[in-house]
Amino acid sequence: MKQSVAARGAFIHKIAQMDDTTSHAPEAVFQRFTLLSVQGVPLFRPIAEAWEPVVDFKAKPDDIVIATYPKAGTTWTQEIVDCILNGGDVEKTKRAPTHIRSPFLEICEVPPMPSGVDLLENTPSPRLVKTHLPYQLMPKSFWEQKCKIIYVARNAKDSLVSYYFFELMNRAQPEPGTWEQYLEKFMKGELAWGSWFDHVIGWWNAKDKHKILYLFFEDMKEDPKREIRKVMKFLGKELSEEVLEKICQHTTFEAMKDNSMANYSSVPDGLFDHSISSFMRKGAVGDWMNYFTVSQNKMFDEEYDKKMIATDLKFRCSI
Ligand code: A3P
């Protein structure tokens, strides 16, 4: 069904308003999702049960995709790309919260939010699409339309710690259990969106077959300007040093933690409980050292080496 630009704009505005006004309303505590496998990849049950609209999603040639395993710096990259697309006009990036500006492709309806596919169909181009799908589950139309994809990867240990705290605070995610149990599930690929190993390797192996820019969270922390330049070049956008500096300032951890349009504070409290853990938690490299015991670290390293033996993909767990 075709809609006019005005109607689409009104739809987005309504969703944004709804989201803002419900932000601190008393909310029923959300029922956590269980997982159901799609081709061996555990996803939220309602995503798996309504998989067809995702598979059949019609990408457009100017769609830009940000793909990650959860907690790799998706939101950070979404903010950077939105800044670049708006020529560094950071005021324009404050038009709506991240999840409206850059919809989450495969997410099911989580009231008051519509499904990602519904939201994307009502989003004007160029659309900035977020996904956590592993390479093999991406809708084919993204390849047919030759869309540009930015993949961001983060070292396994920091991803795991960040994901654990996120599952504690996000009441849509499955019950995380204890830290010990969580670590075990991570190694077995039993968390939502599956195995970190399969995810980062799958996209790594695909990067030369498509228009994929493969970035690392650790590199972004080390030298954000250098990495933002890579993104600009990939998107074919030339911006002045002054604008680049502005984008850097706008997308520091501290600036984003303070930005209500980027820190997920507009999500209803019943869904994201920031009193348990903030979405913008620490934004650091090496925080895993505060959580892994010596024996957990030894076990992790042994397993890690086995799982990564056949790839030339390398990560840094400290910088
Ligand atoms: P921590 O939990 O380690 O703090 P995602 O957006 O993929 O869910 O990733 C969230 C992680 O990225 C969180 O990690 C969050 O703090 C971190 N993050 C978000 N914005 C950031 C920024 N501007 N700089 C550094 N880290 C950032």
pLDDT per residue over 201-230, tens digit each? 999 999 999 999 999 999 999 999 999 999
Summarize the confidence of residues 108-122 as an average pLDDT: 93
Summarize the confidence of residues 58-76 as an average pLDDT: 98
Q: What are phi and psi of 247, to 5 degrees?
A: -65, -40
Q: What is the pLDDT of residue 12?
A: 39
Please state, for a pLDDT cut of 70, what percent of the chain lies above it. 91
Summarize the confidence of residues 296-302 as an average pLDDT: 98
Q: Is 71 in the pocket of ligand 1 (CB under 6 A)?
A: yes
Q: Is the pLDDT of residue 316 over 70?
A: yes
At 129, which helix (H) or strand (E)? strand 128-131
Q: Which residue's CA lies nearest to atom 5 of ligand 1?
A: 71
> Rounded distance, CA 89 to CA 130, Å?
21
C-alpha to C-alpha distances, 137 to 76, 140, 201, 206, nearest whole angstrom: 23, 9, 14, 13
Q: Is 316 in the pocket of ligand 1 (CB under 6 A)?
A: no
Q: What is the pLDDT of residue 14?
A: 41
Q: What is the pLDDT of residue 31?
A: 87
Summarize the confidence of residues 92-102 as an average pLDDT: 97
C-alpha to C-alpha distances, 146 to 125, 179, 211, 249, 278, nearest whole angstrom: 15, 40, 7, 32, 36
Q: Please check whether residue 63 is in contact with residue 185, taking contact to mean a CB–CB distance below 8 angstroms.
A: no
Q: Is 34-308 in CATH node 3.20.20.140?
A: no
Summarize the confidence of residues 233-241 as an average pLDDT: 97
Write out pLDDT tens, residues 155-214. Answer: 999 999 999 999 999 999 999 999 999 999 999 999 999 999 999 999 999 999 999 999
Q: What are phi and psi of 50, to 5 degrees?
A: -120, 55
Q: Is 165 in the pocket of ligand 1 (CB under 6 A)?
A: yes
Residues tagged active-site: 132
> Rounded distance, CA 66 to CA 63, Å?
10
pLDDT band at 282 (very low <50, low <70, confident <90, very high): very high
How far is ligand 1, taken at its centre, from the CA of residue 71, in Å?
A: 7
pLDDT band at 94 (very low <50, low <70, confident <90, very high): very high
How far is ligand 1, taken at its centre, from the CA of residue 162, in Å?
A: 8
pLDDT band at 112 (very low <50, low <70, confident <90, very high): confident
Domain positions in the chain:
34-308
Q: Is 266 in the pocket of ligand 1 (CB under 6 A)?
A: no
Q: Is the pLDDT of residue 51 over 90?
A: yes
Summarize the confidence of residues 308-319 as an average pLDDT: 98
Averaged pLDDT of the chain: 92
Q: What is the pLDDT of residue 113?
A: 87
Summarize the confidence of residues 136-150 as an average pLDDT: 98
Q: Please check whether residue 245 is in contact with residue 164, taking contact to mean a CB–CB distance below 8 angstroms.
A: no
Summarize the confidence of residues 263-287 as an average pLDDT: 94
Q: Is 72 in the pocket of ligand 1 (CB under 6 A)?
A: yes
Asked whether the whole model's pTM tops 0.75, one would answer: yes
Looking at per-residue pLDDT, the higher value among 18 and 298 belongs to 298
**Mutation choice for ligand 1 from 66, 71, 221, 258, CB with most ligand atoms inside 8 A:** 71
**Mutation choice for ligand 1 from 274, 281, 285, 319, CB with most ligand atoms inside 8 A:** 281
Q: Give the up-direction half-sphere exposure of residue 247: CA atoms within 13 A in the CB hemisphere.
A: 28
